[in-house]
Amino acid sequence: MCCKACGMGPCRLVKSGQRGVCGATIDTIQARNLLRSIAAGAAAHSDHGRDMAFTLKAVANGQTEGYVIRDVAKLCTVALKMGIPIEKRSPNEIANDLADLYISQFGQQRGEVVTTVRAPEKRIKLWREHKVVPRGIDREVVEALHRTHIGDDQDYEHLMEHAIRTALTDGWGGSIIATDISDILFGTPAPILGQVNLGVLKTDMVNVVVHGHEPTLSQMIVVASQDPEIIAYAQAAGAKGVNLTGICCTANEILVRYGIPAAGNFLHQELAILTGAVEAMVVDVQCIMQALVEIASHFHTQIITTSSKVKIRGAMHVEFDEHKALSTAKQILRTAIDNYKNRGAVHIPESKADLVAGFSHEYLNYMLGGTYRGSFRPLNDAIMSGRIRGVAAVVGCNNPRSKQDYLHNYVTQELLKQDVLIVETGCGAIAAAKLGLLTGDAGLEKVGPGLREVCEAIGIPPVLHLGSCVDNSRILTVLTQMVEEGGLGDDIDQIPAVGLAPEWMSEKALAIAVYCVASGAYVIFGGSSPVGGQPGKVADSDLLAHYISEGWEKIYGGKLEFIPDPVEMVQATLAHIDKKRSALGLPAWDPSRFGRSGDRLMLEFEEMPVSEKRVAIYG
């Protein structure tokens, strides 16, 4: 462990029993470093939520250009949950109040962040007992920085208690706020067909790649790219029009809502430029590699930064402002079009795959229950009967420590064979999409028999794309609704479910991991552990790894473990799912009981000789 919290260091502790100059032990340094990372991750997601709240406030007051409230139903649902009256009020009035309430959560000093009430009742009680309900979003992040300053909090358990509080401000605070407002402003996602991989770039069009996390500007670029004036401008430059695609979570935001193709996930950002076909890569915040500018300098690609928070030396800066969003979007597209004439040789790989994205929890509810009685009953029933063994969320980044997408896809495919329904977000979702696992029929022959029956009956892919990384809040909502539906215990920790980030790399991922643990989930991360050590071992360097696993499990029913080997990751996932099934008294998973219905049976039937068909029908 290395500590550089003060000028007496850096102190590098390489052996058991060593201490820093100030006397800090390995476990303290591990805990301080982890808490700082979680604070940074929670800050990133929450600051995104803050900007969304400011945008909502501006839209409600008619101060923006181009935005409208697209999903009034969601606005009203959220407002009611948050205690804001909706009777005889205009959407703008309601949105204004909701924006004020949400904005106030960031600077709130005392009490509880209001959105945490959306967790299951028993969970909230547990958080209150342990005094970890976040008081204000910014307050917890600031306190994390305070506590980790030299000479402050030095008890690893106490530091980890604040890690829980800080992470909760992200998942049940800033991220929920970001998702709510994105849906209200840009529409709640419903299944939509899209495409993914570098093959979505086009030789005869101006290629603009949007990359980062925020949907506000990219949404306006979608609108501007279809504007007749912009299309005419592109045609005058010799192109057929503007081909808009995305990378990372900005891609996911516009993919799940409008079906705009994704050129790829995190490790595709440089590859997109290497095609020589990208006129402009427009970036906002988070996960943007500084290497882009250097790579782009070997091609004609223009890197354009747009956030007041992010500039990169060598990139063009066109600052986004929601008050003149559409004009900014058009200005960016004109810059890209002007660059089309500078294009050199182009090498676009042919790889691309179809996918269906956009499974919001609202849609899942409708899909499972129908228009008049939206319900999670069929999902719970399928788990209870054993058709679905359990649920796994496979999310998170790419990490060049492993071959791109390999760990994601290994884990996803192995779990599908075992009747585990998969939900995905972020770069994990794009990885599975490239393999074709996100379409209705593709890959169903590689899916366990029970899960296959469910997919065929409802007409869903075995891997559900729930959105961007802040939309991991949707997974929390799904789990809460599963608890409320009944039959799977009375809290999230009892559901046979596991969260995995096989290729995690960002600090945001650590914040997500910890809010999922605090919510009761078993979370498995691949790659390397930021704290080192192993649970169950006894050296002082193992104390923290042990605490965030078994220690947290005793308190929250969830635990965090770092397991680099994908085979072990799958084994640990299945063991946990089976343990939870048996604790609930559900039948043990038995694949031989299912698979005698649905499309497969129909196909077999069609191929039968007539005499056998008769027997099959009349016995």
Using the contact rule CB under 6 A, the part of the chain among 92-100, 346-354, 505-513, 576-584 near ligand XCC is 505-513
Chain centroid to CA 2: how far?
Answer: 30
Residue 348: half-sphere exposure toward Cβ, Cα within 13 Å: 16
Question: Per CB under 6 A, which of residues 36..55 are in contact with ligand XCC?
Answer: none
> Out of ligand XCC, ligand SF4, none, which partner does residue 37 contact, by CB within 5 to 8 A per kind?
none
| The CA-based dihedral angle spanning residues 363, 366, 371, 373, taken in that order and rounded to the nearest 10 degrees | -150
> Is residue 10 near ligand SF4 by the rule CB under 6 A?
yes
* Residue 8 interacting partner from ligand XCC, ligand SF4, none (CB closer than 5 to 8 Å by kind): ligand SF4
Nearest distance from residue 396's CB to ligand XCC, in Å?
5
Q: Which does 248 bind (CB under 5 to 8 A by kind): ligand XCC, ligand SF4, none?
A: ligand XCC
Look at residues 460, 255, 495 and name the one whose alpha carbon lies nearest to residue 367: 460
d(CA 36, CA 479): 28
Rounded Cα distance between 424 and 359, Å, is 10
d(CA 355, CA 390): 23
Give exposure, 349-380, as e/b (b: 16+ Cβ within 10 Å): eeebbebbbbbbbbbbbbbbbeeeebebebbb
Q: If binding is defined by CB under 6 A, does position 4 make contact with ligand SF4?
A: yes
Rg (CA), the chain: 25
Does 150 participate in binding ligand SF4 (rule CB under 6 A)? yes
Q: Which does 506 bind (CB under 5 to 8 A by kind): ligand XCC, ligand SF4, none?
A: ligand XCC
Cα 424 from Cα 407, distance rounded (Å): 14
What is the distance in angstroms between the CA of the first residue and the CA of the last residue of the chain? 70
> b vs e for 115-150, b when ≥16 Cβ sit within 10 Å of the residue's Cβ?
bbebbbebbbebbeeeebbbbbbbbbbebbeebbee
Backbone angles phi, psi at 474, to 5 degrees: -65, -35
Among 173, 174, 191, 426, binds ligand XCC (CB under 6 A): 426
CB of 10 to ligand SF4, least distance (A): 6
Which range of residues in 3-11, 42-50, 114-122, 444-452 is near ligand SF4 by CB under 6 A? 3-11
**582: three-class secondary structure by DSSP:** helix
429 binds ligand XCC (CB under 6 A): no
Per partner kind, with CB cut-offs from 5 to 8 A, the member of ligand XCC, ligand SF4, none near residue 378 is: none
Q: If contact means CB under 5 to 8 A according to the sort of partner, which of ligand XCC, ligand SF4, none does residue 249 touch?
A: ligand XCC
> Which residue in this structure is represented by tokens 């949007």?
210
Do 282 and 247 contact (CB within 8 A), yes or no? no
CA 213 – CA 272 distance, rounded (Å): 17
Q: Which one-letter DSSP state was computed for residue 550?
A: I
Locate 387 and state its tokens.
């058709």
- Of 20 and 449, nearer to ligand SF4 (C-beta) is 20
Among 113, 466, 469, 510, binds ligand XCC (CB under 6 A): 469
Q: Which of residues 380-419 bind ligand XCC (CB under 6 A)?
A: 396-397
Of the candidate residues 55, 412, 506, 541, the single one contacting ligand XCC (CB under 6 A): 506
Q: Kindly indicate which of the ranges 186-194, 504-512, 541-549, 571-579 contains the residues binding ligand XCC, using the contact rule CB under 6 A.
A: 504-512
Q: Which does 76 bind (CB under 5 to 8 A by kind): ligand SF4, ligand XCC, none?
A: none
Of 8 and 602, nearer to ligand SF4 (C-beta) is: 8
> What is the total count of residues that contact ligand SF4 (CB under 6 A)?
13
* 3-class state of residue 90 by DSSP: coil
Q: Draw the binding track, 180-219, toward ligand SF4 (x: CB under 6 A; -: no contact).
A: ----------------------------------------
Residue 442: count of CB within 10 angstroms of its CB:
18
Residue from 8, 583, 615, 616 that binds ligand SF4 (CB under 6 A)?
A: 8
Question: Is omega for the bond preceding 461 within 30 degrees of 0, making it cis?
Answer: no
Q: What's the CA gap between 539 and 27, in Å, rounded? A: 10
Interacting stretch for ligand SF4, rule CB under 6 A, among 15-23, 288-296, 509-517, 518-526?
15-23
Give the residue from 51, 432, 200, 471 showing the smallest Cα distance to 210: 200
150 or 271, CB closer to ligand SF4?
150
Instruction: Choose from ligand SF4, ligand XCC, none: what does 6 bind? Cβ within 5-8 Å by kind.
Output: ligand SF4
Q: Which does 11 bind (CB under 5 to 8 A by kind): ligand XCC, ligand SF4, none?
A: ligand SF4
145 binds ligand SF4 (CB under 6 A): no
For position 5 contacting ligand SF4 by CB under 6 A, the verdict is: yes
| Residue 17 within binding range of ligand SF4, rule CB under 6 A | no
> What is the amino acid identity at position 179?
T
Query: Smallest distance, Å, CB 209 to ligand XCC?
Result: 14
Q: Count residues near ligand XCC (CB under 6 A).
A: 15
Contact 239, 340 (CB under 8 A): yes
Q: According to CB under 6 A, which residues from 414 to 473 bind ligand SF4?
A: none
The beta-strand segments (E) located in 366-476 are 390-394, 420-425, 463-467
Shortest CB 67 distance to ligand XCC, Å: 23
Decide if residue 266 touches ligand XCC (CB under 6 A). Answer: yes
Q: Select the binding partner of residue 564 from ligand XCC, ligand SF4, none (C-beta < 5 to 8 A, by kind).
A: none
Instruction: Give CA separation, 261 vs 89, 222, 258, 409, 434, in Å.
Output: 38, 11, 9, 20, 12
**Interaction site with ligand XCC (CB under 6 A):** 213, 248-249, 265-266, 287, 396-397, 426-427, 468-469, 506, 508-509
Residues that bind ligand SF4 (CB under 6 A): 3-6, 8-11, 20-22, 24, 150
